[in-house]
């Protein structure tokens, strides 16, 4: 792990027993519970952002143009879905494309895992073990977007590697459903663009976003000409051995992705 990539002055991740660390965790953990989403600015250093962006563009030829409309929550949706609000059109690099990278080192770095565990109220978090889905770059070029969806995992960790000057806004309706209550009525208000629960964020390069995405409806708006947006998504789990199914892996990341475990019961579900 190259320690020059993380802003250790503001985020002392290697000193979990220090008062500064404890205060930081307490403040942000509280905000995460309150709002469902926190955004830690300047988590990466400028050098970190530049290194990660170069790694992404070096691998750009390997990116899979992922276009799909699958979102499990909406399979049972009772009403008529408005057009063009569900789906996804991005370029993806999966964990198999990101081996031996500084981004992978950050993903595995124990102090970061400890920090994410503390922020999410877990004793420990584990690496998602899917060979493709564990660590993902989502590259948004002009015309790319991700429609409204919920994540499968309880929480999602994203490092933002760009600041789009046109489009590419992150919009989120936090805590809009529970495991028991799909709350279709309020979700419909969001889909029809008339909900006052939706918050809009312009993420800064180098920031770290932590979101309770399983219950927060969210999307990324379409990118305009001349802009780009890059998200590094780090998948951590509260139990070891979690992966996605072969069918989902091929749908999202392309037919040529490596095979991985496909064991019922350990597969992330929605
Ligand atoms: Fe998501």
Query: 139 alpha carbon to ligand 1 midpoint, in Å?
Result: 14
Q: What's the CA gap between 215 and 186, in Å, rounded? A: 13
Query: 220 alpha carbon to ligand 1 midpoint, in Å?
Result: 9
Query: 15 alpha carbon to ligand 1 midpoint, in Å?
Result: 30
* This model's pTM is above 0.85: yes
Instruction: Mark out the alpha helices in the chain (DSSP H runs).
Output: 19-35, 46-58, 102-108, 110-120, 184-191, 246-253
Query: 8 alpha carbon to ligand 1 midpoint, in Å?
Result: 27
Pick the CATH number of 3-253 from 3.30.365.10, 3.40.50.1010, 2.60.120.620, 3.40.50.620: 2.60.120.620
Say how many Å lie between the first and final Cα of the chain, rounded. 33
Domain range annotation of the chain: 3-253
Per-residue pLDDT of 121-138, as tens digits, reads 999 999 999 999 999 999
Query: 212 alpha carbon to ligand 1 midpoint, in Å?
Result: 10
Return phi, psi of residue 236, to 5°.
-115, 150
Query: 5 alpha carbon to ligand 1 midpoint, in Å?
Result: 25
Per-residue pLDDT of 5-26, as tens digits, reads 999 999 999 999 999 999 999 9
Q: For residue 260, is pLDDT > 80?
A: no
Give the mean pLDDT of 19-47. 96
Q: What's the CA gap between 57 and 18, in Å, rounded? A: 37
Query: 56 alpha carbon to ligand 1 midpoint, in Å?
Result: 20
Query: 19 alpha carbon to ligand 1 midpoint, in Å?
Result: 33
Query: 156 alpha carbon to ligand 1 midpoint, in Å?
Result: 8
CB 32 within 8 A of CB 119: yes
Residue 236: helix, strand or coil by DSSP?
A: strand
Q: What's the CA gap between 5 and 45, in Å, rounded? A: 5
Per-residue pLDDT of 50-62, as tens digits, reads 999 999 999 999 9
Query: 34 alpha carbon to ligand 1 midpoint, in Å?
Result: 19
Q: For residue 85, is pLDDT > 50?
A: yes
Query: 213 alpha carbon to ligand 1 midpoint, in Å?
Result: 6
pLDDT on residue 265: 46
Per-residue pLDDT of 180-235, as tens digits, reads 999 999 999 999 999 999 999 888 999 999 999 999 999 999 999 888 899 999 99
Q: What's the CA gap between 236 and 226, in Å, rounded? A: 33
Confidence at 261, pLDDT banded by 50, 70, 90: low
pLDDT on residue 252: 82
């Amino acid at each position: 792990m190259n320690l020059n990539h993380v802003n250790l002055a503001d985020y002392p991740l290697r000193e979990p027993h220090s008062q500064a660390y404890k205060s930081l965790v307490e403040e942000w953990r509280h905000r995460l519970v309150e709002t469902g989403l926190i955004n830690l600015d300047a988590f990466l250093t400028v050098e970190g952002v530049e290194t990660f962006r170069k790694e992404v563009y070096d691998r750009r030829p390997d990116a899979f143009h992922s276009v799909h409309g699958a979102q499990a929550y909406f399979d049972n949706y009772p009403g008529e879905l408005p057009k063009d609000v569900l789906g996804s059109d991005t370029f993806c690099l999966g964990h198999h494309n990101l081996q031996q990278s500084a981004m992978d080192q950050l993903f595995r770095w124990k102090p970061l895992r400890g920090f994410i565990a503390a922020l999410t109220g877990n004793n420990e978090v584990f690496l998602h073990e899917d060979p493709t889905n564990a660590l993902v770059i989502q590259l948004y070029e002009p015309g790319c977007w991700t429609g409204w969806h919920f994540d499968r995992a309880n929480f999602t960790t994203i490092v933002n590697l760009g600041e789009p000057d046109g489009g590419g806004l992150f919009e989120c309706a936090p805590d809009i459903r529970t495991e028991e209550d799909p709350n279709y009525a309020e979700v419909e208000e969001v889909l029809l663009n008339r909900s006052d629960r939706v918050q809009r964020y312009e993420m800064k390069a180098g920031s770290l976003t932590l979101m309770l995405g399983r219950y927060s409806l969210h999307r990324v708006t379409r990118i305009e000409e001349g802009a780009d947006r890059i998200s590094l998504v780090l998948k951590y789990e509260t139990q070891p051995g979690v992966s996605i199914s072969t069918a989902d892996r091929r749908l999202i990341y392309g037919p040529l992705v490596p095979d991985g475990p496909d064991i019922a019961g350990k597969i992330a579900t929605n």
